[in-house]
Amino acid sequence: MLARLILQSAILLVVNAALLFGAAGTLAWPAAWIFLIQLSAGGLLIGLWLARHDPGLLAERLSPTMQPGQEAWDKLFLVIAAFLWGVWLIGMGLDAGRFHFWPVPIWVQAIGMLALFLSLAVVFLTFRVNSFASPVVKIQRERGHRVIADGPYRHVRHPMYAGAALLFLGVPLLLGSWYGLALAPLLTVGLAIRAVLEERTLARDLDGYADYAARVRCRLVPGIW
């Protein structure tokens, strides 16, 4: 499993780097290197922690994005999400790496780096309490799937998506791309749509989820939505 973790992490790093640096037309882009190192190292460290403390969740996270029992709409969503991620990175590479349309102050980039760190921290806290945090929408009956209401789930119903929203904010700030920041709300809306659709599946098929949703009212942002 460790070999698969390292291989998938390396593939993701290479793909993201190719999209960013290919669009930028240069490797001399320090912010992109910081982003790639921060994202890849953070993801790998979380994966290594899972290998020791929750190998079942790590196996689930390393599984293909198209799985038996997965909702059909979710398969389409993940294809669209992968496409939009690529377009987003390419656009930021063109904006901040090649043409430098609207420079971003260094202190703003530092805020982006902090937001990305917080995003990874939220993901880690989520994995610590939820062994069923699959990358796809399905009920994991073979693993004894149950409702999780501890940790960050006491505050929002989808802490992973909250962490992803922080990533959508932090990455364009770190890379220095106002274009990327302008698209961040669109990507976040996509997450919100998936959250609503996912909850329909959970309320229908997972015992106790409807009661949990009635207690924890907010999906992504405490006290707001």
pLDDT at 185 over 90: yes
Q: How confident is the model at residue 2 (pLDDT cuts 50, 70, 90)?
A: confident
In-domain check, residue 207: yes
User: What values do phi and psi take at 25, rounded to 5?
Assistant: 75, 15
Considering the domain boundaries, does residue 221 fall inside one? no
Share of the chain above pLDDT 90, in %: 94
Amino acid 89: pLDDT: 98
Residue 45 has pLDDT above 90, yes or no: yes
Average pLDDT of the segment spanning 66-72: 88
Tokens of 118: 């917080």
The answer as to whether 224 is a domain residue is no
Name the pLDDT band for 101 (thresholds 50, 70, 90): confident
Q: Is residue 220 part of a domain?
A: no
For the chain, give the mean pLDDT.
96
184 has pLDDT over 90: yes
Tens of pLDDT, residues 108-118: 999 999 999 99
In a domain, 48, yes or no: yes
State what percent of residues in the chain have pLDDT above 70: 100
Instruction: Note the pLDDT of residue 113.
Output: 98
In whole angstroms, what separates CA 36 from the centre of its chain?
14
175 near 112, Cβ under 8 Å?
A: yes
Supply the pLDDT for residue 83: 97
- pLDDT given for residue 68 in this prediction: 84
CA distance 40 to 60: 19
Q: Which domain holds residue 35?
A: 2-215
How many folded domains does the chain comprise?
1
Confidence (pLDDT) at 78: 96
pLDDT score of 1: 86
- 222 within domain boundaries: no
Report whether pLDDT(69) > 90: no
Mean pLDDT on 52-71: 92
Quick check: is 225 in a domain? no
The CATH number linked to 190 is 1.20.120.1630
- Label residue 216 by pLDDT band (50, 70, 90): very high
DSSP labels for 118-160?
HHHHHHHHHHHH-TT--SS----GGGT-----SGGGGT-S-HH
The predicted model scores a pTM of 0.93
- Give mean pLDDT, residues 64-71: 88
Asked whether residue 34 is domain-assigned, the answer is: yes
Instruction: Give me the pLDDT at residue 3, please.
Output: 93
Residue 93, pLDDT above cutoff 90: yes
Could you give the CA distance from residue 78 to residue 12 in angstroms, rounded to a whole number? 15
